[in-house]
Amino acid sequence: MVVAKDQVNGALAASNMELAAQAHGLGVLYSGFFAMAARLSPALRRELGLARGQKAVTALVVGHSAVNYRRTAPKEPADVRFL
């Protein structure tokens, strides 16, 4: 569960967490349903220990993927010039 006072900061943190997990060979699934339930259910908010003003931005399910995808073919390096 990604909890933040600001939706944008929470979303950016979740994005970085996803990239870090994938770099370590883990699969990531965003669970919008659980985050929605945490936003709407006072009982669930109490169970999670969310204080007033904290927002359940999203929930990440992290683990080893059951499916392995092949990577795309390598591409030619980009010709970038800084002027």
Q: Is residue 40 part of a domain?
A: yes
Q: Is residue 73 part of a domain?
A: no
Q: Is residue 10 part of a domain?
A: yes
Containing structural domain, residue 54:
2-63
| Per-residue model confidence as pLDDT tens digits over 50-76 | 988 888 999 999 999 887 777 777 778
What is the Cα–Cα distance from 39 to 52, expressed in whole angstroms?
Answer: 11
Total number of domains constituting the chain: 1
pLDDT at 32: 87
pLDDT at 73: 73
Q: Is residue 82 part of a domain?
A: no
- Residue 56: Cβ-neighbour burial (10 angstroms; 0-12, 13-18, 19+): buried
Q: pTM value?
A: 0.71
Token pair in block for residue 64 = 């080893």
| Per-residue model confidence as pLDDT tens digits over 19-55 | 999 889 898 999 889 989 998 999 999 999 998 888 8
Sign of the four-CA dihedral 28, 1, 39, 37: positive
Q: Is residue 25 part of a domain?
A: yes
Q: Is residue 36 part of a domain?
A: yes
Q: Is residue 42 part of a domain?
A: yes
